[in-house]
Amino acid sequence: MNAALASLADRWLGTDPKQRVRLARCGLACALMLYSIASMGYFVWAGMAPGWPVAGLALVAVAGMAGFFVVIRSGANLRFADPSLTMPQMVFALAVGAVAYTLAGRGRGAVFPIMMVVLMFGLYSLSPRQVRWMSLAALALFGGAMALMAMVSPRIYRPEVEFAHFLVIAIMLPAVSMLAGQLSRLRDRLRRQKAELQEALARIQDLALRDELTGLANRRHMQGLIDLERERCVRTGGSFCLAVIDIDRFKRINDTHGHPAGDAVLRDFAREALSCLRGGDVLARWGGEEFLLMLPDTRLTLARLGVERLRTRAAALTVLHESTPLAFTLSAGVVEHLAGESVVDSIARADRALYQAKQQGRNKVVSG
């Protein structure tokens, strides 16, 4: 049952969330129009309104609202600045309301609440300026209808009563405009708060996944990525390699030039490394001056060549910190993850290979 209702809703409203909201609002406007037509039908039944003119107005009203629904459902509305077509719908509804006022006779007082509902309908999507224009349009349309009927049918539309009606709506419409201004300011404040919250959330998510100093993936994020790559290799029978990379004699840089100099070396190395790695390779700051590189879908021979290229680039890099040139080298241990092996064991093998590189004089890449 629920699936059938969902399928029916998709057929009528489509699947685009924004378009569904627009169509739902248009459907609500159509329901309001049908209620107004039903009210006019009662006036005809009670002998207060002529039958054929009301029937013609009802036909125009239904056709107009159906036309708006079709335009939105077809997607043609997306070509306009306001895809909701709020102002055209409101102008149409006010025009129909003004004509209904001329036909309702003694029941014309029922048209005023409908007019106010139409204006309230636009408060949540129009700017204060647009609401003011709509209010002026309503005042002009209904004022013209009142003046016309006071001249054409003064026995039913007595001039003094019509003037009183005009004064009522002239007082009510500015209040609507003031309310629109309040709602607009509230919407703007909510939008700003939403944007600030989204920015803060993005910042928090970035801090949870990235190393703040280098901008690289942090240890936690890297562990998740390695687990995903391991699962992929289990499914496909592929392979990947890991490399533990350590900047040689990094403590000496900190002790000699200070921690800001060490930070500059880490940042510049990260930037240089990203420029020479493949698009699918992932480099993470593993801790301190130690980095972990994952090379997806790569055998050990190619992985070692890639890390060797990175070592050569690092050795040629000079970091300038406060006018002081800083040179450094790196050592690395590279391994290929073995089927059935845990990630922890693979990293431990890469660590042992790194230790061998250090033992062999540093500035070397050793595969394990």
Give the residue numbers annotated as catalytic, written as ranges.
Answer: 289
Contact present, 97 and 137 (Cβ < 8 Å): no
Closest CA to 51 of 97, 103, 92, 111: 103
Task: Name the phi and psi angles at 325, rounded to 5.
Answer: -75, 135
Distance CA 260, CA 266 (A): 10
Task: Name the phi and psi angles at 291, rounded to 5.
Answer: -125, 155
Distance CA 309, CA 311 (A): 5
Task: Name the phi and psi angles at 281, rounded to 5.
Answer: -70, 145
What is the three-state SS of 271-340? HHHHHHCCCCCEEEEEECCEEEEEEECCCHHHHHHHHHHHHHHHHCCEEEECCEEEECCEEEEEEECCCC
What H or E segment, with its residue span, contains residue 245? strand 240-247
Q: Which two tokens stand for residue 270?
A: 């990260």
Contact present, 96 and 61 (Cβ < 8 Å): yes
